[in-house]
Amino acid sequence: MAQTEGPSAYPQAPPSAGSQAATLELRDVTKVYPDQEQPALSHLNLKVDAGQVCVLVGPSGSGKTTAMRLINRMIPLSGGDILIGGRSVLKRDPVELRRETGYVIQQIGLFPHLNVNENIATVPRLLGWDRSRIAARVRELLELIGLQEIGKRYPAQLSGGQRQRVGVARALAGDPPLLLMDEPFGAIDPINRNRLQDEFMRLQHRLRKTVVFVTHDIDEGIKLGDRIAILRERGTLAQYDTPAEILTEPADEFVAQFVGTDRALKRLGLETLAGVKLVELNGIDVGDRRVPITTTVRDALSQVLAAGGAALAVVDGEETVGAVTLELFGGLLRDGTLNGTQSEERAAR
Ligand code: ADP
Ligand code: MG
């Protein structure tokens, strides 16, 4: 699995008392709001495997939030069907469905008059768990998000990043097989946003939920998604593919524009040096410059540039395993593949 070799090492712990993740399928999903002529979503087809992160990206107004609200039946479908774990949402009780679907939004929607513990306990309470089970679950989740200390605080006493993490913990509390996250980190500053993204990846590696993650930030999508669905105006699907495929083969001009002219560089952020055929070290002057083999190719390139184009030694633990040079990166950017195998692994994941 590519992620275990990624920039940070993720714990290998098994899921905690986990429910199964559910498959999700959108079949020809169409939504026309009352009194609107144009559909907000039209004939959207998407399949998400259990335990995968599907990122929905697209410009503002392309129907991302509409898709989320259709999935947990906050609003009714105009056409098509949505299946969770193979069962149509139309045949489910909407209240029950919402309890089984974790929902995280940008404004978080924590209850201001409840403390963190009580906020996280919301769904387990609705599910009728007994007190000790709820308490244990709250403790477990606070630990999972690294906020054991703040259970007694109220939302107004938390930073934006902390609030967002509590929002994620609350969404996970009932152990839902499906998690819907609508621009969850959209209002967070870049540094904390990056941290939250890393934390999300660590959590997801452990919990393996099926996740639909909405963002308007393509970089966030590339980082977090197993697959990315790019929507264009009026909710039509422009492309649904792995991040690597979207970056190397954008389906059309709209997608190419959306992912940006620096897509070749972005693609280098998907892989680590472990997936690159390194240059042999003999005779190359690397001084005391070294990078771990777990560094992304993009970050390694940045470091080479920061060193004025000088080569770096690549180390795997204590051992030096080769070097990276500016010429090597030039080649990688030109031929558009690293050595092929890594991208395929990611796609097969
Ligand atoms: P996104 O989340 O991608 O920004 P939305 O799903 O919020 O897009 O909106 C998609 C389209 O549907 C937009 O044109 C928006 O104006 C319209 N829309 C959203 N909610 C409503 C509503 N309750 N009534 C009428 N139109 C709506
Ligand atoms: Mg939205």
Pocket test for ligand 1, best of 35, 36, 231 (most atoms within 8 A of CB): 36
Distances (CA, A) of 83 to 48, 54, 65, 111, 175: 10, 15, 18, 30, 19
**Residue 120 counted as domain residue:** no
Q: In this structure, are 212 and 299 located in the same domain?
A: no
Whether the Cβ atoms of residue 162 and residue 111 lie closer than 8 Å to each other: no
**Residues 312, 251 share a domain:** no
Domain CATH number, residue 343: 3.90.1280.20
303 alpha carbon – ligand 2 mean position (Å): 36
Together in a domain, 340 and 194: no
Looking at the CA of residue 59, tell me the nearest atom of ligand 1.
3
Position 129 in a domain: no
Domain identity same for 277 and 319: yes
Q: Is residue 126 part of a domain?
A: no
Of 260, 278, 304, the residue at which a domain comes to its end is: 260
Domain extent for 325: 268-348
What CATH number does residue 15 fall under? 3.40.50.300
128 assigned to some structural domain = no
- Domain boundary at 227, 260, 293, which? 260
Do 59 and 91 share a domain, yes or no?
yes
Contact at 8 Å (CB) between 1 and 288? no
Residues 96 and 188 in one domain: yes
Task: Establish if 113 belongs to a structural domain.
Answer: no
Beta-carbon neighbours within 5 Å of ion ligand 2: 64-65
- In 3D space, the residue among 235, 237, 239, 238 whose CA is nearest the CA of residue 41 turns out to be 235
Domain boundary among 236, 260, 284: 260
With respect to residue 155, please indicate whether it lies within any of the assigned structural domains.
no
Identify whether residues 211 and 336 lie together within a single domain.
no
Any domain includes 127: no
Question: Closest residue (by CA) to atom 16 of ligand 1?
Answer: 61
Query: Atom 7 (ligand 1): residue with closest C-alpha?
Result: 65
DSSP class of 18: P
- Specify the pTM: 0.80
Of 170, 64, 72, the C-alpha closest to 115 is 170
* Structural domain total, the chain: 2
Q: What is the pLDDT along the chain (349 residues), one digit of tens a residue?
A: 333 333 333 333 333 445 679 999 999 999 999 999 999 999 999 999 999 999 999 999 999 999 999 999 999 999 999 999 999 999 999 888 888 898 888 766 789 999 999 999 998 998 889 999 999 999 999 988 888 889 999 999 998 889 888 998 998 888 899 999 999 888 888 888 888 898 899 889 988 999 999 998 898 999 999 999 999 988 999 999 999 899 888 999 999 999 887 888 888 888 899 999 999 988 889 999 999 999 999 999 999 999 888 999 999 999 999 999 999 988 888 766 554 444 444 444 4
